[in-house]
Chain A
Amino acid sequence: MTVLDYLSVMLLIGGGGFFLAGTLGLLRFPDVCSRLHALTKADNVGLGLTVAGLALASESWAVAGKLLLIWVLVLLASASVSYLIAQGSMQRRKPS
């Protein structure tokens, strides 16, 4: 194994840790906003570390670029969707 491989494995394990913590938070936290807070850590940092680890292990720049694009798209979608879920839950809490 080269240095690159070790680095890749470490990033993947780190990403897995963030996903585990995010899932635990989603299951254990009491209300919508704190659950979203836990979930976005898995989406943003967890997926970011996973993508970085996979990009280091990928055989070409094209694959690495595609992985990066996936991360950017998920960031965009997860940030917007988290906002929409929080917005919806706040509207439901105080009925106009």
Chain B
Amino acid sequence: MSDVLDSLLGLSLVALAWRALASEDLFKAVVLFISFGLVLALVWVRLEAPDIALAEAAIGAGLTGALLLAALARLRRIETNDSPVERPGRLPRMLTAIAALSLTAALGHALLSLPTVSAGLSREVIAQLDASGVRHPVTAVLLNFRGYDTLLELMVLLLALLGAWSLRDAPAPPERPADPVLDTLAHALAPLLLLVAAYLLWAGAHAPGGAFQAGAVLAAAGVLLLLAGWRLSARLTGLPLRLALVLGPGVFLLVAVFTVPLEGLLLEFPPAAAGRLILLIEAAAMISIAVTLAALFLGAPPERGERR
């Protein structure tokens, strides 16, 4: 029975991916991409990877979908304002196709050269779990054993926002008239989303959850409020906003530097304090991730008097 379910999930995943890529209508493609993300989250649940399922549903389907829809709305406004957007020529398209195919081939080769049956590193992780400061192996890997990866991920997110902000002439989203239903929904859901984010952050120490999932939920609250017409007060759009953006990577780096004299290595936490340090880093990272994602949704940097 579960084999049938798994095959159906796998098949619909491939079908959704193909339809999203082949669709001529960009709006349809985005909606298909969101459905693809939701089915992929179910697949991760079936593969017993609830952490990735949570992240995929919140970031992959939810926020990426919102970002794509926002980009689509902007694209349409450009197309109606000016001449239609020029399609790239044949040569750039050929080069892109060759690059994408080479990457696919390289990834396929890497996948095929892996040993088919392998316990991976899970035994080592479980053996070292007591020294990590948390009880959930995924959090132990992400924040302690492989802290470098998470630190660099936070940097990549910041870089993405810098890239978006440097395209300053992106048209601002239009002011929509206040809608009572959307307003009520945003007011009802925002505190609830805050609660869920705080729970996910706290749960990360012993169960699936953590900074990225919590940050994505918080960013969803921000996107909802932005859609309902809420804007950050002008006092906060300058330095405070930028501080919130660098808080996560900043705190991570500071902890990394200050623990060097104790343990002698970068990103090596003393086991006694590791739990508290990880919670501190995750709380800071959650705020930065949420603010960065919501800022990406808005696109251009807020002129004095915008954004959450």
- Residues of chain A at the chain B interface (Cβ within 8 Å): 73, 76-77, 80, 83-84, 87
Contact = CB atoms under 8 A, between A and B. Distances in A.
A76 B189 CA distance: 9
Contacts, number: 15
Interface in B179-238: 179, 181-182, 184-185, 188-189, 192
B73 to A, nearest CB: 12
A12 B189 CA distance: 28
15 contacts: A73-B192, A76-B185, A76-B188, A76-B189, A77-B185, A77-B189, A80-B181, A80-B182, A80-B184, A80-B185, A83-B181, A84-B179, A84-B181, A84-B182, A87-B179
Closest 7 CB pairs of A and B: A80-B185, A83-B181, A80-B181, A84-B182, A76-B188, A84-B181, A76-B185
Interface residues on B, range: under 10
Nearest to A87: B179
Interface in B138-183: 179, 181-182
A77 B188 CA distance: 10
A87 B184 CA distance: 16
A87 B188 CA distance: 20
B181 to A, nearest CB: 5
- Chief secondary structure at chain A's binding surface: helix
Contacts of A87: 179
B29 to A, nearest CB: 18
Could you say which of B181, B188, B192 has the most chain A C-beta atoms within 10 Å of its C-beta?
Answer: B181
A80 B189 CA distance: 12
Given A77-B185, A77-B189, A84-B181, 12 more contacts: A73-B192, A76-B185, A76-B188, A76-B189, A80-B181, A80-B182, A80-B184, A80-B185, A83-B181, A84-B179, A84-B182, A87-B179
Could you say which of A76, A77, A80, A84 has the most chain B C-beta atoms within 10 Å of its C-beta?
Answer: A80
B228 to A, nearest CB: 11
A77 B186 CA distance: 10
A84 B181 CA distance: 8
A93 to B, nearest CB: 17
Contacts of A76: 185, 188-189
Contacts of A80: 181-182, 184-185
Contacts of B182: 80, 84
A25 B216 CA distance: 33
A79 to B, nearest CB: 8
Contacts of B189: 76-77
A1 to B, nearest CB: 18
A83 B184 CA distance: 12
Nearest to B184: A80
A75 to B, nearest CB: 12
